[in-house]
Structure 1
Amino acid sequence: MADSKREIERKYAATAATRLPDLSRVAGVSAVAHRGVTELDAVYYDTEDLRLAAASLTLRRRTGGSDAGWHLKFPVASGIRDELREPLSGTLPGSFAGLLRSRVRDRGLVPVVRLVSARDVHHLLDAEGALLAEVSVDRVRAERLMGGGATAAWTEIEAELADDGDPAFLDAVERRLRKAGIRPSTSPSKLSRALAETAPKRSRSRPSPAAGPALPTAGDHVLAYIRRQREAIVALDPAVRRDLPDSVHQLRVATRRLRSALRTYRKILDRDITDPVGAELKWLAAELGIDRDQEVLDARLRSGLDTLPRTLALGPVRGRLRVWSVARRNGSRRRTVALLDGKRYLALLESLDDLLAAPPLLPAASRAPERALPGAVLKEYGRLAARIGHALELPPGHGRDLAVHEARKAAKRVRYAAEAARPALGKPAKRFAKRMKAVQSLLGDHQDSVVAREALRALAAQAHAAGEPAFTWGLLYGREEADAAARERELPEVWRRASRPRLRAALEG
């Protein structure tokens, strides 16, 4: 696995005549150590259509300096990136190829820009001599390697926070720089500036007569929502591969939201085109569920054990749970990564691109969103109402558990449909989605209890077969059974609040 670090930095505009002010006057700085000038030579790679740059991703092979090697940077927030490093080699590291696959797919990576920098480095140190930040004056020369060979040159100042430093320290550095007349750069990175300043000059075409802005249609709103979910899937792919917290869950949610939109808005988009895509999204969500569901189950079972008095934890219950969880988790992790490397998943990403490039809009897509979207949301609501009514009619037991689970899936679709309509319908859609989320959460907690009971029954059987006490697993099973019964008692009132006629009427306008 590649080395990883959180990079927090700020960039400032400068000229060849710019000089750093006395940074020892920054609060907390006891000394400024000049580390001399380092020559850096970096080649940046991207697809021919610059897919990585469009997503603010940076891939480079750099020589010179203390961190020569391959670097891959993912944006986190403004001025914050996760930088992954692999040793210097002649070919792209395999770990990086996997992390870029959702963006690159079968497109080749080619050198696009070369940056040669003379970096004049200064370390800001505290009273104990520990590094607070590195401030450098970089004199940069950029050369376009793909498309024209244009060059550019500039000087900039970069302030990078030391590992595990307080980001507020960079505020103090910036105040000192601003007092010296140095202002933040308008370019987020060297690469973005190089691409902009070396871009091929295109002949200017005569502008067409100005036309008034077109009013957004129902199709515009639905496509914008689908585009956001597609982008979320692509962006979360490398996070899942890096095993970042909650990444599998977020990827699954984006997949489900996208599928839900395709199903809900069938009068906007031609289902002959979208149904095959929806089927593949259903497959992907189910596969991701193997990993995600295990995460949720592990957390629930651990929490149950944590709330028990020690005197009720009989036998090696924590050890058994740990072994059981690790075995299931390791297998699911391998399946998930293999899934993301598979041809079927990559074909799905391509089909999503194709759908957005040539959307199969139906005549209703041209209608005003406030006329076309509420009906689709309320149709999903009607399906949910029928399923909840059916569940409440059944006696407690396996049949009701299955019916509640079906109602939960319907509640999720209503919520996603309302969220998709929110940019067009405003507060009524927001309130409606919030109410549906409350119903979904209650039904989801009920389903989690059902799944936990199945796992506890299996753990109890394993413990008994090994000659261990099964008392604790039975106790937790009883708790889960009582919790599910409590959710069932709460459901009528939660549903009553969520299904108020005024909410539905407001959604219809």
Structure 2
Amino acid sequence: MHEIELKFQVPEARRRGLQQAFRRGRVTEQRLLAVYFDTEDRLLARHGMALRLRSEPGGWVQTLKAGNSHGPLRLEDNVALGASEAMPAPDPERHAGTPAHRRLLKAFAPAKQATLVEVFRTDVTREVRLLKGPGGLLAEAALDRGEVQAGAARHALWEIEFEWKAGPLAGLFALAADWVAQHGLWLDSVSKAERGHWLSLGKTGAPAVKARSPEVDAGLGAAAFARAAVAACLAQVLPNLSALASGDGNGSGGPGGPDHVHQLRVGLRRLRTVLREMAPLDAGLDPGWEAPLARVFGALGRLRDRQLLETQTRGALIAAGAPPLGRLQPPSQDPPLSSLLQASDFQLVLLAAQALAMQATPVTHAAYDGPPLPALAERLDHLQRQLRRDAKHFETLPPEHQHRARKRLKRLRYLAEFTAPLFRRSEVSRYFKALAPAQDCLGRLTDQMAAQAAYREAAAAQPQAWFAVGWLSAGHADAVRAARQALAQAGKAKPFWHGRLRRRQGC
């Protein structure tokens, strides 16, 4: 069966209030001790699966879970094993014939023999309450407090889940949105199984997640295509957000470090591209999402600029013989990153996007009745023409217009990536290969301009920073010229979206 649940973390300052609100209804409490198993080489975790034995009030239950392309949707199969003091041995065959087991067989096939070992445990006190809503909605809310245990390592748990049981799926998201607004909850895509897996490896979390292609085919309608694109964006945004919002989000190394900042920023830019460029499809995309997304995106950009100043730019200056320079601390009016990511208006946008991706939000009208490709091709052609115009006059454009050219190039690239799975791989590959030099040149130019402005400001207190200003200025004209040439070449790239569609079996 499929399990649909939304999981949230609760900020420490809001926990008491949430618990009081939670207990206003009829609550049952139970202690749940769960033991998770995997192979020595973590075969299940690598395939997004988890096998556990859990001691519940009625006895031991074995559960097999398998992830899905949508965060809240998972395959799950439970087998009750009856009351027993001793924990039974894990046996995947108890799930034989289920969709989750078929996924398991695919994972195990290359291994031939797979011995399961205990990897970690969870010890949780769970409070459960049934919630009802309009239209016959029935949801189970579970408030979990406890910890994950992997050897001597521990990770505290304090989270709430809303699991859909019956009624309209849209009601589950509306219910969750109310709790987000009232108690400052923030979406966490990291399951207890994933948390335990990384803890057992001595790590605080997963590496940054890169962009993925949407699951689309040529037969999709406009609304379905837009939903698939949103789902692909969320598959990148949510895990990187979880790493940053969890308290490790200070921009330091490791989980929650520069890679997560960069990949979350990419994911948000892709989502904003969908919102802007797929608007003609009128597929339920809400323009009201833009302001919260843009605010967080801007803060991530300023954080990334500071990170680059202290790593790449500082290293290049030292190699060029720059005099010793104190650490740059550009003034920032941004609140801590974790609080930005946990802000309710931003979280409500992500929740609404997730509802759209899962078809929980009905599309009541359609301004575009035809297949999506012609409309998207028109937008791509428009962006390609803008790219060629920008290339002609790039060297004479003011800096803000040069930066605008880079943003257009990004939108062209991301919109093209959303349509790319429909077309022949060879043509798609040639197109993106032609765009790559322009992306790199414009990226370096933008970073150089940001660094130059930061060192110019720092020179008031640290005169030795003028060396950096001069060094960066000396290479500016060459960087602009290189960007213009790369843009001109990108403008000549043959659009693949006017080519032949890819066969279903590949090409």
Displacement after TM superposition at 1:350 (Å) = 2.7
TM-score, normalising length: structure 1 = 0.55
Q: Does 1:290 align with 2:302?
A: yes
Partner of 1:485 in structure 2? 477
8 Å contact from structure 2 (residues 313, 451) kept in 1? yes
Partner of 1:240 in structure 2? 244
Distance (whole Å) between structure 1 residues aligned to residue 53 and residue 278 of structure 2 = 53
Partner of 2:491 in structure 1? 499
Q: Does 1:154 align with 2:88?
A: yes
Distance (whole Å) between structure 1 residues aligned to residue 356 and residue 343 of structure 2 = 20
Output one character per residue of 1:153-187: Cα deviation in whole Å (capped at 9) or x when no partner: 630399xxxxxxxxxxxxxxx9xx98xxx634599
Partner of 1:377 in structure 2? 380
Partner of 2:414 in structure 1? 416
**Aligned CA distance change for structure 1 residues 183 and 498 (closer, same or farther; 3 Å):** same
Letter in 1 for 2:301: G
**Aligned CA distance change for structure 1 residues 234 and 360 (closer, same or farther; 3 Å):** same
**Aligned CA distance change for structure 1 residues 496 and 251 (closer, same or farther; 3 Å):** same
Output one character per residue of 1:217-262: Cα deviation in whole Å (capped at 9) or x when no partner: 3443332121121232222222113232311121111111001112
Counterparts of 1:32-111 in structure 2, within 5 Å, are: 50-52=5-7, 94=12
TM-score, normalising length: structure 2 = 0.55
Distance (whole Å) between structure 1 residues aligned to residue 452 and residue 28 of structure 2 = 53
**Aligned CA distance change for structure 1 residues 50 and 295 (closer, same or farther; 3 Å):** same
How many residue pairs are counted as aligned between the two chains?
337
**Aligned CA distance change for structure 1 residues 384 and 214 (closer, same or farther; 3 Å):** closer
8 Å contact from structure 1 (residues 416, 433) kept in 2? no
Distance (whole Å) between structure 2 residues aligned to residue 111 and residue 366 of structure 1 = 51
Displacement after TM superposition at 1:385 (Å) = 2.8
Of the three residues 261, 264, 276, the one matched with 2:274 is 261
Unaligned ranges ≥5, structure 2: 38-51, 62-77, 93-107, 123-164, 166-216, 250-255, 502-507
3-state SS of 1:115 partner: strand
Distance (whole Å) between structure 2 residues aligned to residue 480 and residue 420 of structure 1 = 36
Q: Which has the larger radius of gyration?
A: 1
Displacement after TM superposition at 1:422 (Å) = 1.1
Displacement after TM superposition at 1:454 (Å) = 1.1
**Aligned CA distance change for structure 1 residues 441 and 139 (closer, same or farther; 3 Å):** closer
Distance (whole Å) between structure 1 residues aligned to residue 432 and residue 467 of structure 2 = 37
Output one character per residue of 1:187-238: Cα deviation in whole Å (capped at 9) or x when no partner: 99989xxxxxxxxxx9xxxxxxxxxx99333443332121121232222222
Of the three residues 260, 264, 271, the one matched with 1:251 is 264
Counterparts of 1:277-426 in structure 2, within 5 Å, are: 277-308=289-320, 312-314=321-323, 316-317=324-325, 320=326, 322=327, 324-325=328-329, 334-356=335-357, 357-358=360-361, 360=363, 363=366, 367-392=370-395, 394=396, 400-426=398-424
**Aligned CA distance change for structure 1 residues 142 and 283 (closer, same or farther; 3 Å):** same
Letter in 2 for 1:224: A
Output one character per residue of 1:19-46: Cα deviation in whole Å (capped at 9) or x when no partner: xxxxxxxxxxxxxxxxxxxxxxxxxxxx
Output one character per residue of 1:417-475: Cα deviation in whole Å (capped at 9) or x when no partner: 111111223433443334334322211211111111111212222123xxxxx2xx333
Partner of 1:438 in structure 2? 437
Distance (whole Å) between structure 1 residues aligned to residue 272 and residue 31 of structure 2 = 39
**Aligned CA distance change for structure 1 residues 113 and 375 (closer, same or farther; 3 Å):** farther
3-state SS of 2:351 partner: helix
Displacement after TM superposition at 1:372 (Å) = 4.1
**Aligned CA distance change for structure 1 residues 252 and 214 (closer, same or farther; 3 Å):** closer
Distance (whole Å) between structure 1 residues aligned to residue 350 and residue 494 of structure 2 = 40
**Aligned CA distance change for structure 1 residues 187 and 364 (closer, same or farther; 3 Å):** farther
**Aligned CA distance change for structure 1 residues 116 and 361 (closer, same or farther; 3 Å):** closer
Partner of 1:231 in structure 2? 235
Distance (whole Å) between structure 1 residues aligned to residue 22 and residue 431 of structure 2 = 43
Distance (whole Å) between structure 2 residues aligned to residue 301 and residue 294 of structure 1 = 10
Displacement after TM superposition at 1:386 (Å) = 2.9
Q: Does 1:114 align with 2:35?
A: no
Distance (whole Å) between structure 1 residues aligned to residue 467 and residue 286 of structure 2 = 47
Displacement after TM superposition at 1:374 (Å) = 2.1
**Aligned CA distance change for structure 1 residues 433 and 366 (closer, same or farther; 3 Å):** farther
**Aligned CA distance change for structure 1 residues 492 and 225 (closer, same or farther; 3 Å):** same
8 Å contact from structure 1 (residues 218, 372) kept in 2? no
Distance (whole Å) between structure 1 residues aligned to residue 228 and residue 270 of structure 2 = 13
Unaligned ranges ≥5, structure 1: 1-47, 60-91, 120-137, 159-173, 192-201, 203-212, 465-469
**Aligned CA distance change for structure 1 residues 286 and 340 (closer, same or farther; 3 Å):** same
Q: Aligned Cα RMSD in Å?
A: 4.7
8 Å contact from structure 1 (residues 248, 288) kept in 2? yes
Partner of 1:216 in structure 2? 220
3-state SS of 1:404 partner: helix
Identity value in percent = 21
3-state SS of 2:431 partner: helix
Output one character per residue of 1:78-107: Cα deviation in whole Å (capped at 9) or x when no partner: xxxxxxxxxxxxxx893998xxx9xxxx99
